[in-house]
């Protein structure tokens, strides 16, 4: 199977079966006996085609006169990946893209289909500079940044035009790699020095004291510092959660939605492996990720168990100094890592999540000791799931007060008057929301 066949098969899984691009891509590439160069090409085209699907489909609709339903899904994904290469990649000559697409179509289907594919792509090449979208600002932004129109309107309503465009641009960035230095095993200076000696180009993180950015270098998972548990991959937005919790040694902490354990292990490191962290998740199979991460990082103060956070558990009432609820959310802030979220989410799903989030908030607040701190976080940019949930909770629970969060001055941080913070996405930080509440 050649590179372009793999690309089309992976796209079929993502678009037609709603698979996660990163999972299906990793599984496929691990099995394939191909060069590192081919793997990089496949990765680039798959993520690029998923990311720019809206724009690509608008273009294709001009040349597929009978509509997409007249084209079998496999052939449609041949066309999508080809338009992506022609429009967004300069390293592959246009004629080569067309020839490969035609050969792939012949192999999969009839000569008639191959002729159709050839005609569509050559039509596009003749009209590459055509202005495909005219109309209002939402249509223009949807085409320019390749987001479904409802999502553009959604961000525009919540953030206004200027910030909406910043968000769309940020969510299309290729994510940079950031690692967190594990202070239990290695100092920041030692990790920095050893990574440099191993040939990595690195720089300090933007805002978190434990953060290191990998600018250039081999896969982090194969790095000896990673294998020894001296570093772990984590986005800086996620690191901020542990930073704002005012953690101290020997505390009891509850993490209600903890898998895969990035924030859980960060809290353990901040507490110098003392005290106790009760890490819960509803899925038993995900707890292994927490335990494996803890073992690699040399952490032994985490107890991982299954628990449905949307149900109240009497035995946990009033036991914790700190409670973290990084709740299940729509994930609109992490589209740069999971671009299929653009196509797999709809407005109705966003509303369904709010009820679950409020149940978790209500239950988690009861596990806190008096004077304790509760941190609520999401990786989404939806005010219904963020600000409105917190405002609802405060009305229902007057014994809680918002604590002001301040972590530094960055262009992508929005400090709200009430005290919570919204993080807009960019190359090194996911879109995020964090609120900190104290129980009086």
Per-residue pLDDT of the chain (440 residues; tens, 9 = 90+): 789 999 999 999 999 988 889 899 989 998 888 888 999 999 999 999 999 999 999 999 999 989 998 999 999 999 999 999 999 998 889 999 999 999 999 988 877 899 999 999 999 999 988 889 988 999 999 999 999 999 999 999 999 999 999 999 999 999 999 999 999 999 999 999 999 999 999 999 999 999 999 999 888 888 999 999 999 999 999 999 999 999 999 999 999 999 999 999 999 999 999 999 999 999 999 999 999 999 999 999 999 999 999 999 999 999 999 999 999 999 999 999 999 999 988 877 777 899 999 999 999 999 999 999 999 999 999 999 999 999 999 999 999 999 999 999 999 999 999 999 999 999 999 999 999 999 99
* Residue recorded with tokens 């927490």: 290
The H or E element containing residue 264 is helix 262-270
Residue 426 forms part of a structural domain: yes
HSE toward the beta carbon, residue 240, CA cutoff 13 A: 28
CA–CA separation, 431 and 69 (whole Å): 35
Which range of residues forms the domain containing residue 328? 240-439
Q: Are 420 and 385 in contact (CB under 8 A)?
A: no
Phi, psi of 121 (to 5 degrees): -70, -40
State the DSSP string of 52-112: THHHHHHHHHTT-TT-GGGS-HHHHHHHHHHHHHHHH-SSS-HHHHHHHHHHHHHHHS-HH
Q: Would you state the pLDDT for residue 304?
A: 97
HSE toward the beta carbon, residue 82, CA cutoff 13 A: 30
Residue 98 forms part of a structural domain: yes
Asked if 279 and 424 sit in the same domain, the reply is yes
CA–CA separation, 134 and 348 (whole Å): 28
Asked if 256 and 229 sit in the same domain, the reply is no
CATH number at residue 63: 1.10.940.10
Q: Which residue stretches of 109-187 are H helix? A: 111-126, 137-145, 149-171
CATH number at residue 197: 3.30.70.1170
CA–CA separation, 351 and 197 (whole Å): 50
β-pair partners for 181 = 231
Residue 132 forms part of a structural domain: no
CA–CA separation, 102 and 79 (whole Å): 10
Asked if 153 and 57 sit in the same domain, the reply is no
β-pair partners for 422 = 414, 433
Residue 131 forms part of a structural domain: no
Asked if 45 and 158 sit in the same domain, the reply is no
Q: Which of 431, 433, 434 is nearest to 173 (CA)?
A: 431
Asked if 217 and 265 sit in the same domain, the reply is no
DSSP 328: -
Tell me the CA distances in angstroms from 156 to 25, 132, 145, 161, 416, one per residue in order. Answer: 32, 22, 14, 5, 18
Q: Would you state the pLDDT for residue 302?
A: 98
Asked if 293 and 408 sit in the same domain, the reply is yes
Asked if 331 and 251 sit in the same domain, the reply is yes
CATH number at residue 246: 3.40.50.150
Asked if 413 and 385 sit in the same domain, the reply is yes
Q: Which of 170, 169, 191, 196 is nearest to 180 (CA)?
A: 191
Residue 358 forms part of a structural domain: yes
Asked if 7 and 23 sit in the same domain, the reply is yes
Phi, psi of 160 (to 5 degrees): 85, 165
Asked if 54 and 192 sit in the same domain, the reply is no
Q: Would you state the pLDDT for residue 274?
A: 98
Residue 15 forms part of a structural domain: yes
Q: Are 432 and 178 in contact (CB under 8 A)?
A: no
Asked if 350 and 321 sit in the same domain, the reply is yes
Q: Would you state the pLDDT for residue 291?
A: 96
Q: Would you state the pLDDT for residue 253?
A: 98
Q: What pTM did the predictor assign?
A: 0.93
Residue 90 forms part of a structural domain: yes
For the record, the structure tokens of 87 come out as 């429009």
Q: Which of 422, 430, 365 is nearest to 398 (CA)?
A: 365
Q: Are 304 and 218 in contact (CB under 8 A)?
A: no
Q: Which residues are catalytic?
A: 379
Residue 53 forms part of a structural domain: yes
Asked if 245 and 352 sit in the same domain, the reply is yes
Number of separate domains in the chain: 4
């Amino acid at each position: 199977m050649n590179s372009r066949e793999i690309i089309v098969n992976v796209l079929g899984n993502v678009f037609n079966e709603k698979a996660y691009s990163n999972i299906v891509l990793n599984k496929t590439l691990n099995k394939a006996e191909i060069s590192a160069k081919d793997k990089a090409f496949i990765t680039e085209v798959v993520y690029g085609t998923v990311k720019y699907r809206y724009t690509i489909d608008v273009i294709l609709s001009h040349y597929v006169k009978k509509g997409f339903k007249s084209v079998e899904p496999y052939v449609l994904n041949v066309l999508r990946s080809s338009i992506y290469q022609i429009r967004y990649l300069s390293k592959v000559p246009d004629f080569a893209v067309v020839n490969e697409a035609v050969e792939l179509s012949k192999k999969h289907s009839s000569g008639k289909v191959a002729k159709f594919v050839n005609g569509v792509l050559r039509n596009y090449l003749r009209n590459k500079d055509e202005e495909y979208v005219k109309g209002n600002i939402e249509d223009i932004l949807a085409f320019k940044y390749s987001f479904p129109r409802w999502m553009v309107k959604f961000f525009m309503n919540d953030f206004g035009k200027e910030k909406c465009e910043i968000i769309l641009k940020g969510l299309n960035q290729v994510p940079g790699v950031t690692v967190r230095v594990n202070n239990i095993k290695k100092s920041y200076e030692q990790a920095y020095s050893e990574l440099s000696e191993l040939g990595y180009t690195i720089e300090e993180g933007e805002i978190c004291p434990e953060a290191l950015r990998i600018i250039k270098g081999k896969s982090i998972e194969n790095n000896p510092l990673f294998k020894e548990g001296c570093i772990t991959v984590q986005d800086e937005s996620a690191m901020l959660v542990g930073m704002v919790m005012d953690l101290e040694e020997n505390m009891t902490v509850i993490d209600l939605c903890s898998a895969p354990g990035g924030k859980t292990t960060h809290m353990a490191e901040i507490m110098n492996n003392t005290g106790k962290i009760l890490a819960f998740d509803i899925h038993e199979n995900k707890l292994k990720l927490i335990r494996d991460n803890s073992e690699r990082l040399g952490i032994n103060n985490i107890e991982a168990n299954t628990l449905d956070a949307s149900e109240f558990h009497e035995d946990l009432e009033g036991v914790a100094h700190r409670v973290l609820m990084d709740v299940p959310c729509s994930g609109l802030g992490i589209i740069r890592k999971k671009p299929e979220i653009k196509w797999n989410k709809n407005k109705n799903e966003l509303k369904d999540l709010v009820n679950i989030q409020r149940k978790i908030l209500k239950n988690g607040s009861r596990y806190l000791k008096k004077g304790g701190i509760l941190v609520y976080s999401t990786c989404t940019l939806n005010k219904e799931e963020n600000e409105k949930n917190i405002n609802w909770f405060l009305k229902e629970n007057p014994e809680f007060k918002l604590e002001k969060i301040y972590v530094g001055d960055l262009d992508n941080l929005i400090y709200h008057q009430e005290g919570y913070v919204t993080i807009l996405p960019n190359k090194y930080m996911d879109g995020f929301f964090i609120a900190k509440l104290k129980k009086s």
